[in-house]
Structure 1
Amino acid sequence: MNTNDLDPMLTVGEVGEKRLIRDHIRPLAQKTGRTNSIWDDCATISAGVDNITITTDKIPEDLVAWKYGLMDSVALGRYLVEVNASDICSMGCQPKYLLVNVALPRNFSASEFIKIYSGISKRCRELGISIVGGDTKFASSLSLVGIAVGYGASGNFHRYTAGPSELVFVTGKVGDLVQRSALLSITNGILESLMKILNDRSTIQ
C-alpha cells in the first residue's frame, strides 16, 4: 500500500500499529534488504556460528505504574533493562550489551534521575549485561529508551514462523499490573473530580 492511499485526516492511532507495520513500514524496509525481522521484537543478523540479535524498546512517558507510585524510580530503571533483555531472550539468545538513551526536562529531580540509572545499572549486573553507551539530553518530557544486543546459536524463534501446537511461555501474572494500574487510575480520577467539586464550592462561598 502506498502512503498516498491513506486518508490525510487519519491519525496513527486510528490506523493501528499492526497495519502501519504491515502496509507501510515493512514495504519501505523491503527496499533496503531483509525484512522478516520487521515482524519480530528483535532483528537477527547472522555472524558465523552465532547470531547477533538487536532490539530497542522504550518506557512510555505516561507509564501508569510509575505515575501513581506503584513503581519507584529504581524499579523504573530496572524495568527498562527487562523490557529490552526479554526481547533478546524471546529469540533464544543471551542479552549482553545495552545502550541507554535518556531525555528529561531540565527541572527533573537529579536525585530521581540517579535512582533511575542505579536501577538500570543494578539490573544489568544481575543479568550479566554491560552498559556500553547511550545518549543523555534535555527534552520537554521524560523519555527512556534502551537498545540491547545479544548473541547465541539460536535466534530462530520468529513470529512469522510460529504455528499451531507450538508452546507459548509467559512470566508472572498476566494482566496483574494492568488491572492494578487501571483501578488506581480510576480511583485517582474519582479523587480528582471530588477535589474539583470541593474547590469549586469553596470558591463560590
Structure 2
Amino acid sequence: MRKIKELGEFGLIHKLSSQINFRASDSILGIGDDCAAYPVKSGKFEVISTDALVEDIHFKLSTIKPETLGRKALSVSLSDIAAMGGTPKRIMVTLGIPKKISVSFLEKLYSGFNEICNHFKVELCGGDTVSSPKCFFINVAVIGEAKRIFSRKGAKPGDLVFVTGTLGDSSLGLKLLAKNKTRGKDHKFLTTKHMDPTPRVKEAEILGRSKIDITSMIDISDGLVQDLHHICESSNVGAQIYEDRLPLSPELIRTCKRSSIPPLPLVLNGGEDYELLFTLPADGVKNLIRQFLKAKVLVTQIGKILKPGGISMKMKNGTLKVLPESEGFNHF
C-alpha cells in the first residue's frame, strides 16, 4: 500500500478526484485548474457557505467510518444551502492531513463524498490538501442556487413556527456512542441520525417552489432553542413553543424510557438534527400541509412568534418555562 508521501500532493489529488464521477452538465472547468468555472443563470440567486469538521471536536476517528465521515461532512454543508431555500450545485473540499492518515482512509472518505454527490447531483469541483501537524480536518465550501432566499430575518408576531422531521435523535445517538452502547435497531437508528444525517434539500425545494410566504428559516445545527433564538434576534421578535407538540421519534421515546434519560434536554438543546426550522403566517398552513403530505415528508407546528420578550415553552401541565439561549452548542 502506497503512503501519502510517496504519492505526493498532486498524485494524491489525482487519485482521490478520480473517484468522484458526477460532473454537472454546465461545468466549464472542474478539478485540475486554479479555479472551477461555470455559467451563472439569470433569475436565480447564488448561495454560498462553508463549514469545517475538526477531529475530536466534531468527530472521533475511533467511532466513525471514513465513508460515513465523508457523507456527513458534505451533508452538514448541504444543510446550510437548504436552510436558505437553495439547491446545492457544487462543493469544494479542503483536507488537513496528519501523518497518521492513510491513503486507504482517504479513498474511503472520498467514497462517502461520491455517494452524496451522486444522490444530490452535486459536483465536487475543487479544493485543497494540506498537511496538518496533529488533527485531521475537513473544510467544505458549497455553492447553490435559489429562486427565493429564506433568511433568519423576517419572522413577525402571529407567524407560526414549524419544524421538519423529529428532534433529539442525533443528540441521543451521540450519547450512546460516548457510552459505547449501540445495541439493537433503536440504537442503530439513533447513532445513524448522528453520524449520517440527511440534509433537508427535498423539503427546502418544496418550500422554494411553493408560493408559501416563508418569513424566516434556519437549519437546526446548534439545538432547537439556540437556533430559534437566532431567528428571534434577527427578526426582533419573541416565541413560544409547546412541549406536547415537539416531534419525537419512537426510537428516541423507547430508548429514553428504557434508560431513564429525560428526553426534553436532548430535544431542546441537543443540536445536529439538521432539520429545517421556519416560520410562516397562519394563512399558508393549509398549502404547506398539503404539499408536505403529497411529498410524504414530516412537518410539525411547534409554536408561534410573539412580540419581543425571549422564548418560552408551554409545558404539558400548562405552566410556562423560560428557555435561555446559552444551553445549545457553542464552540467557545
Is the structural similarity TM-score above 0.5?
yes
- Distance (Å, rounded) in 2 between the aligned partners of 1:68 and 1:178: 18
The match for 1:180 is 173
Name the CA shift for 1:135/1:166 in 2 (closer, same or farther; >3 Å): farther
Give CA deviations for 1:74-129 in whole Å, capped at 9, x if unaligned.
01101111111111111111100000011110221221111111101221111000
Asked if the contact 1:66/1:72 (under 8 Å) is kept, the reply is no
The match for 2:56 is 62
- Of 66, 86, 100, which aligns to 2:93? 100
**What code does the residue aligned with 1:120 have?**
F
The match for 1:32 is none
Normalized against structure 1, the TM-score is what? 0.61
Answer yes or no: is 1:154 the counterpart of 2:161: no
Unaligned regions of 5+ residues in structure 1, if any?
1-45, 189-205
Asked if the contact 1:54/1:147 (under 8 Å) is kept, the reply is yes
Asked if the contact 1:56/1:145 (under 8 Å) is kept, the reply is yes
Output aligned runs, 1:132-171, within 5 Å: 132-140=125-133, 141-155=135-149, 157-164=150-157, 165-171=159-165
The match for 2:320 is none
Asked if the contact 2:53/2:59 (under 8 Å) is kept, the reply is no
Unaligned regions of 5+ residues in structure 2, if any?
1-39, 182-332
Give CA deviations for 1:7-35 in whole Å, capped at 9, x if unaligned.
xxxxxxxxxxxxxxxxxxxxxxxxxxxxx
Answer yes or no: is 1:116 the counterpart of 2:109: yes
Asked if the contact 1:64/1:185 (under 8 Å) is kept, the reply is no
Asked if the contact 1:66/1:76 (under 8 Å) is kept, the reply is no
Q: Which has the higher contact order (CA 8 A, sep 6+)?
A: 1
Normalized against structure 2, the TM-score is what? 0.39
Give CA deviations for 1:133-170 in whole Å, capped at 9, x if unaligned.
10011102101110000012112x11122345244333
Give CA deviations for 1:2-61 in whole Å, capped at 9, x if unaligned.
xxxxxxxxxxxxxxxxxxxxxxxxxxxxxxxxxxxxxxxxxxxx9751100001112232
Give secondary structure in 2 for the equivalent of 1:98: strand
- Distance (Å, rounded) in 1 between the aligned partners of 2:76 and 2:110: 15
- Distance (Å, rounded) in 2 between the aligned partners of 1:51 and 1:60: 30
Give secondary structure in 2 for the equivalent of 1:168: strand
- Distance (Å, rounded) in 2 between the aligned partners of 1:123 and 1:47: 24
**What code does the residue aligned with 1:121 have?**
N
- Distance (Å, rounded) in 2 between the aligned partners of 1:121 and 1:58: 18
Paired residues, what number?
140
Give secondary structure in 1 for the equivalent of 2:106: helix
- Distance (Å, rounded) in 1 between the aligned partners of 2:46 and 2:141: 13
The match for 1:39 is none
How far off its partner does 1:186 sit?
Answer: 4.5
Deviates more, 1:58-67 or 1:105-114: 58-67
The match for 2:69 is 76
How far off its partner does 1:65 sit?
Answer: 5.6
Give secondary structure in 2 for the equivalent of 1:160: coil
- Distance (Å, rounded) in 1 between the aligned partners of 2:57 and 2:65: 12
